[in-house]
């Protein structure tokens, strides 16, 4: 009986061993069959990863190229609307004047029409021009270039430009006598340097004495003492025949004070004439106060300017007083009403009332 049991146990162990061997064989066979598939999948995944990396690199390169092209387009070769700006002004004047002796005049005229064009050629060069309507014709009164790097305090101005000698800080519509004498636009080359508090200019232009020769040198400085307070000075080597002025050099001192709605300015110019003891001088005082005028933004203003020893200068008055008010008439438009009294060197007085529609666009 014991032998029989041992024989059965031995047979069972043999069967278990055979089963284990069969299972191991099946697993090995399965692994052997599936391993090539795993290898193919791994190769495909690696290829896909390489392709994705290649596409990401190409996309990054394209984005960088597009960004550079956009930057160049914005700074140098952008569209007309991005790089060119057009502005202008038109002033229509209704005026009434009375002179000593009872003579009077009345008129409604197109006093001013200006069209300004500014073109940004690139980040270093900007062109400016001004076309004005005067004496029934259009004339290019300004056309110049300003050259300077964006991160530099230096700039070069070349072309036909306003000579920056007289500083016209006037709130009135009628210009002071300093503008009558020193409103100069000539071919000029000017080097400017400036920061937040100091501005320096050095320039040369072709004065009227020789016609087409750079024979006049000018210097200018403006210093901001504190917020709202600044002083300036200027020098011209010769003013011969400029608006009828005598030969000789000229000096300028000016100051500006602003506090809230109040603005005050003063300017003094002295000409040291070469061939005569008569040295013309110019003084201009101005005050303006911003306030509400009949329910709209506006200002009241007063100006006083006088000349001394200017009797030999053609069409130069001895004294000019301006009193007036300006009221906003919607966006970019205003109405100016002013009274002007002017006295000549022959002691003749002229009283003028001006009503002006001033528009800008």
> What is the per-residue pLDDT across 147-167, written as a single tens digit (0 to 9) for each?
999 999 999 999 999 999 998
Joined together, the tokens standing for residue 31 give 């692994």
Q: What is the CATH number of domain 85-113+165-176+195-360?
A: 2.40.160.10
Of 244 and 41, the one with more pLDDT: 244
Among the ranges given (4-8, 229-233, 289-293, 334-338), the one the predictor scored with the smallest mean pLDDT: 4-8
Q: What is the mean pLDDT of the chain?
A: 85
Cβ-proximal residues to 2 (8 Å cutoff; 6+ apart), any chain: none
pLDDT greater at residue 73 or residue 205: 205
Looking at the chain, which runs of residues are DSSP E strands?
84-99, 104-120, 125-134, 137-147, 154-162, 185-194, 198-205, 216-226, 229-236, 248-259, 262-273, 281-293, 296-308, 319-328, 333-343, 349-360
Report the pLDDT averaged over residues 12-31: 48
CB contact at 8 A, 253 and 284: no
| Model confidence band, residue 106 (pLDDT cutoffs 50, 70, 90) | very high
In this prediction, residues 346-359 reach a mean pLDDT of 96
Query: How many angstroms from the chain centroid is the CA of residue 113?
Result: 21
What pLDDT sits at residue 302?
Answer: 98
> What's the mean pLDDT in 245-267?
95
Helix (H, G, I), strand (E, B) or coil at 63: helix
Whether residue 4 is predicted with pLDDT greater than 50 in this model: the reply is no
What is the predicted pLDDT for the residue at 41?
62
Neighbouring-strand partners of residue 155: 192
* Interatomic CA distance for residues 94 and 355, integer angstroms: 5
Contact 154, 209 (CB under 8 A): no
Residue 310 phi, psi (nearest 5)? -105, 20
Q: What pLDDT is stored for residue 240 in this prediction?
A: 83
Q: What residue spans define the domains of the chain?
A: 1-75, 85-113+165-176+195-360
pLDDT digits (tens, 9 = 90+) for 38-92: 566 667 677 777 777 777 777 777 777 676 656 555 544 556 777 899 999 999 9
């Amino acid at each position: 009986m014991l032998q029989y049991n041992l024989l059965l146990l031995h047979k069972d162990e043999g069967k278990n061993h055979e089963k284990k061997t069969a299972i191991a064989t099946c697993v090995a066979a399965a692994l052997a069959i599936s391993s090539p598939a795993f290898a193919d999948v791994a190769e495909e995944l690696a290829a896909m990863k390489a392709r994705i990396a290649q596409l990401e690199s190409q996309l990054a390169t394209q984005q960088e190229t597009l960004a550079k092209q956009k930057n160049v387009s914005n700074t140098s070769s952008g569209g007309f609307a991005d790089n060119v700006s057009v502005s202008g002004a038109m002033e229509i004047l209704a005026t009434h004047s009375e002179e000593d002796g009872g003579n009077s005049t009345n008129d409604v005229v197109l006093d001013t029409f200006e069209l300004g064009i500014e073109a940004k050629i690139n980040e270093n060069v900007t062109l400016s021009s001004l076309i004005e309507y005067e004496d029934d014709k259009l004339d290019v009164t300004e056309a110049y270039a300003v050259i300077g790097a964006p991160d530099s305090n230096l700039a070069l101005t070349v072309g036909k430009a306003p000579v920056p000698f007289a500083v016209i800080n006037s709130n009135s519509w009628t210009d002071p006598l300093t503008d009558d004498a020193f409103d100069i636009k000539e071919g000029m080359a000017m080097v400017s340097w400036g920061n937040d508090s100091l501005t320096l200019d050095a320039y040369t232009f072709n004065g009227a004495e020789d016609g087409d020769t750079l024979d006049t040198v000018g210097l200018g400085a403006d210093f901001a003492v504190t917020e709202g307070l600044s002083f300036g000075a200027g020098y011209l080597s010769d003013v011969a025949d400029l608006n009828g002025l005598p030969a000789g050099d000229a000096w300028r001192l000016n100051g500006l004070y602003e506090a809230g709605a109040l603005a005050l300015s003063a300017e003094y110019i002295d000409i040291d004439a070469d061939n005569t003891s008569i040295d013309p001088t110019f003084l201009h005082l101005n005050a303006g106060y911003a306030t509400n005028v009949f329910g709209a933004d506006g200002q009241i203003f007063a100006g006083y300017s006088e000349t001394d020893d200017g009797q030999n200068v053609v069409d130069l008055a001895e004294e000019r007083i301006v009193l007036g008010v300006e009221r906003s008439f919607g966006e970019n438009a205003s109405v100016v009403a002013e009274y002007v009294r002017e006295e000549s060197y022959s002691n003749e007085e002229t009283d003028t009332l001006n009503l002006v529609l001033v528009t800008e666009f």
